[in-house]
């Protein structure tokens, strides 16, 4: 039942199905996982996933048959949903559910934070926003496939040249990544103009790395250059909230960001950005670790170079 994912070989780039990034997700990641996967689920499966995410404690008590009944579906569907969430079967999902319930009970509760209302006072907004973003970070960390990160870091470290694609809000994340990598001596660029991005992607070849950042996984302006890079033989990475989206077809390594629930006052852009930045930071640190000899001097050099752009310290202490 090995899911021989990734690996060097390019051709059998599995499309979708069975997720299962190597190991069963821990209880913590479950809620996040449900949100991530929900869009790619069928109606019945969504009902099951919803029930599970909404009342872990209650569902943990139910047998397959019970849960099927409660959700008005069949046992088969329940098992299918369990699979999709990354467990070998319902039995294991149930175990994770019990774990989640226990955690929530004990106060380590990832309990759902309240939506921000139009008339919330500003203090409340600050608190809710901070909490939401903290939750997003936790979800992202829990949902990240370490092996994929590792592979991505390796590719970046060895890259002759790195291109980063992103538009809109993701464009800023792309710039952040490129900026960081440049700072430690890598050759990284980002292209805001999608036409130029494609033009540049054509230049890539094996040994180069292309990174695409899109929350929806369906942004054509980002998919196109990645596809081109993929076809040219470059190693391709996708940072997306929809690992089953079209972008994944052209990505050697997919780094999944968390999908928080949106609300009218809190567009998805906000938490997806937080999530993407965490991934970017992880990549950066990973690369910096592996190129420490050159990265450290490069970092301080760039810092020194900017020193004169700062006004003198008020008082030397």
| Residues at the site binding DNA, with contacts judged by CB under 7 A | 6, 8, 10, 13, 42-45, 63-65, 72-77, 79-80, 82, 88-92, 94, 315-317
CB of 306 to its own copies, least distance (A): 7
Q: Which does 23 bind (CB under 5 to 8 A by kind): its own copies, DNA, none?
A: none
Residues 68-127 binding its own copies (CB under 8 A) are 94-96, 98-103, 105-108, 116, 118-120, 122-123, 125-127
Q: Which does 185 bind (CB under 5 to 8 A by kind): its own copies, DNA, none?
A: none
CB of 84 to its own copies, least distance (A): 15
Contact 157, 187 (CB under 8 A): no
Residues 12-71 binding its own copies (CB under 8 A) are 26-28, 40, 42-43, 58, 60-61, 66
In a 3-state reduction of DSSP, which class is residue 238? strand
In 3D space, the residue among 109, 150, 89 whose CA is nearest the CA of residue 27 turns out to be 109
Q: Which does 76 bind (CB under 5 to 8 A by kind): DNA, its own copies, none?
A: DNA
In a 3-state reduction of DSSP, which class is residue 67? helix
If binding is defined by CB under 8 A, does position 157 make contact with its own copies? no
If binding is defined by CB under 8 A, does position 133 make contact with its own copies? yes
Q: Which residues contact 54 (CB under 8 A, 6 or more apart)?
A: none
Query: Which of 57, 187 has the CB closer to DNA?
Result: 57
CB of 148 to DNA, least distance (A): 25
Give Cα separations from 255 to 69, 176, 213, 251, 276 (angstroms): 36, 17, 10, 10, 9
Query: Which of 9, 311 has the CB closer to its own copies?
Result: 311
Taking CB under 8 A as the binding criterion, the range among 72-80, 156-164, 173-181, 204-212 that sits at the site for its own copies is 173-181
CB of 187 to its own copies, least distance (A): 19
Q: Which does 205 bind (CB under 5 to 8 A by kind): DNA, its own copies, none?
A: none
Query: Which of 44, 214 has the CB closer to DNA?
Result: 44
Taking CB under 8 A as the binding criterion, the range among 71-79, 146-154, 205-213, 229-237 that sits at the site for its own copies is 146-154
What is the rounded (10 degree) CA torsion for 235, 240, 245, 248? 10
**Alpha-carbon span 183 to 185, nearest angstrom:** 5
State the Rg of the chain over Cα. Answer: 21
Residue 77 burial (C-beta neighbours within 10 Å; 0-12, 13-18, 19+) = buried
Q: Following DSSP, what letter does each residue of 198-214 receive, concatenated?
A: HHHHHH--TT-EEEEEE
**Alpha-carbon span 137 to 302, nearest angstrom:** 29
């Amino acid at each position: 039942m090995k899911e021989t994912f990734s690996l060097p070989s390019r051709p059998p780039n599995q499309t979708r199905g069975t997720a299962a990034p190597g190991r069963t997700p821990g209880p913590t990641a479950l809620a996040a996982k449900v949100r991530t996967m929900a869009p790619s689920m069928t109606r019945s499966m969504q009902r099951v996933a919803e029930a599970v995410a909404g009342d872990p404690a209650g569902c943990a008590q139910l047998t397959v048959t019970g849960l099927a009944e409660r959700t008005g579906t069949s046992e088969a569907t329940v098992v299918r949903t369990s699979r999709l969430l990354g467990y070998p079967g319902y039995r294991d999902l149930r175990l994770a559910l019990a774990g989640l319930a226990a955690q929530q009970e004990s106060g380590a509760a990832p309990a759902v934070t309240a939506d921000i209302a139009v008339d919330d006072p500003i203090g409340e907004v600050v608190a809710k926003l901070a909490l939401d973003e903290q939750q997003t970070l936790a979800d992202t960390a829990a949902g990240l496939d370490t092996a994929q990160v590792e592979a991505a870091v390796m590719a970046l470290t060895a890259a002759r040249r790195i291109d980063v694609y992103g538009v809109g809000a993701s464009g800023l994340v792309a710039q952040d990544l490129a900026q960081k990598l440049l700072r430690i001596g890598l050759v990284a660029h980002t292209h805001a103009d999608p036409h130029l991005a494609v033009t540049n992607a054509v230049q890539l070849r094996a040994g180069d790395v292309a990174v695409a950042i899109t929350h929806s996984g369906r942004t054509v302006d980002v998919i196109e250059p990645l596809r081109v890079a993929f076809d040219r033989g470059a190693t391709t990475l996708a940072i997306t909230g929809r690992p089953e989206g079209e972008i994944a077809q052209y990505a050697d390594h997919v780094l999944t960001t968390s999908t928080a629930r949106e609300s009218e006052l809190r567009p998805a852009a906000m938490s997806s950005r937080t999530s993407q930045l965490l991934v970017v930071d992880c990549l950066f640190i990973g690369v910096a670790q592996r190129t420490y000899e050159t990265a450290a001097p490069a970092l301080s050099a760039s810092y020194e170079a900017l020193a004169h752009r700062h006004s003198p310290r008020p008082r030397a202490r």
